[in-house]
Amino acid sequence: MTEKADLTAVLDRAAEGGRITPEEALELYRHAPLHALGQAADAVRRRRYAGTEHIATYIIERNINYTNACVTACKFCAFYAAPKSDKVWTRDLDDILRRCAETVELGGTQIMFQGGHHPDYGVEYYEEHFAAIKAAYPQLVIHSLGASEVEHMARISGVSAEDAIRRIHAAGLDSFAGAGAELLPERPRKAIAPLKESGERWLEIMELAHRLGVESTSTMLMGTGETNAERIEHLRMIRDVQDRTGGFRAFIPYTYQPQNNALKGRTQATLFEYLRLIAVARLFLDNVAHIQGSWLTVGKEVGQLSLHYGADDLGSIMLEENVVSSAGAKHRSNRTEIIDLIRKSGRVPAQRTTTYEHILVHDDPANDPVDDHVVSHLSSTAIEGGTAHPELKILSTN
């Protein structure tokens, strides 16, 4: 074990902006006192955002699930259905556009197009849908998919990953959501997603996207049986690509949800492990701008705590989300609550864009928005009085 004095020296160096090695990051993750770890990470955040360090952000978005048919069969997933199953469904384009319309009506700025690896959906499917969304709602940012979807659609269409990226970007994709990263190191990835591309291939495709001008976020799924060393290795793999491209605008770790999937909750990450990972990520990923707390998987209170452990963003009010919820994530929120959570953490809330520009800074509680329709996991596709579809009525959110 590293001596306490050595850990303190590493923490001090990291807090002052120095680069730490993967070995040092692992020692901090395993042994650094929790509060000292959080203080060092928060110091890094404050320095990076000097002048706006008092602000923490959120975004209003919608996850639009276009199909649950998937050939990949990841063991942690409770959302997918085998392609020939009677449980398979697919949304038609009109339904998808209605969901986009409601997103705009509720002040959302971003959609995440998220679904399974359908055996028939190649590049052409995504081109058609992204072009239609952009034609109808050019103000919506399409922040969607990831390297796994690129690999799949390219194979279905018989084209290269580069061609696939160029085509869907031209059709309207603005940035990749970093989907499919899960765990990048070989052993845990093969254990939970044996039919997915390797972690190295996932990173190759993301690096290719960055070089083609398509930025992305990066993610990490915690708690499926990976070791502490493998968690840090995941961070190293991301940092190495980021050194070359600078294309990852954020890192978003989230925790495995144990219901209705093949892993059956045999292993899970604790909330303290999650907070420690947030802090170490802020210290180690010195080349990634933003760290996002995942209130959806760890709960609102821990999400709020993540703002004291290096996170500068509390993620999204998801007007719709079905994938993680299928595995047991029951946390719900609304805009009023997210603003309150951020404010009670001692920060000023601000609604942001996909690229983290501030749309609305809530610096005066008297001016807070009061629209109670802006609720996460809203199942409605009909807004009473909305200009996009004035004939529709609001559905119950129960």
> Strands, E, within 102-203: which ranges?
110-114, 141-144, 175-176
- Name the helix (H) or strand (E) containing 318: strand 313-318
**Vertex 317: Cα angle to 104 and 321 (nearest 5):** 90
What CA–CA distance (Å, rounded) separates 214 from 216?
7
Question: Could you count the other beta carbons within 10 Å of the beta carbon of residue 25?
Answer: 24
100 marked ligand binding residue: no
What CA–CA distance (Å, rounded) separates 44 from 17?
7
Given a contact cutoff of 8 angstroms between Cβ atoms, the answer to whether 355 and 216 are in contact is no
Task: With CA atoms as reference, report the closest residue to 376 among 63, 2, 47, 44.
Answer: 63
> What angle in degrees, to the nearest 10, is found between the helix axes of 199-211 and 228-245?
20
77 marked ligand binding residue: yes
What CA–CA distance (Å, rounded) separates 321 from 334?
13
The binding site consists of 70, 74, 77
The binding site for [4Fe-4S] cluster consists of 70, 74, 77
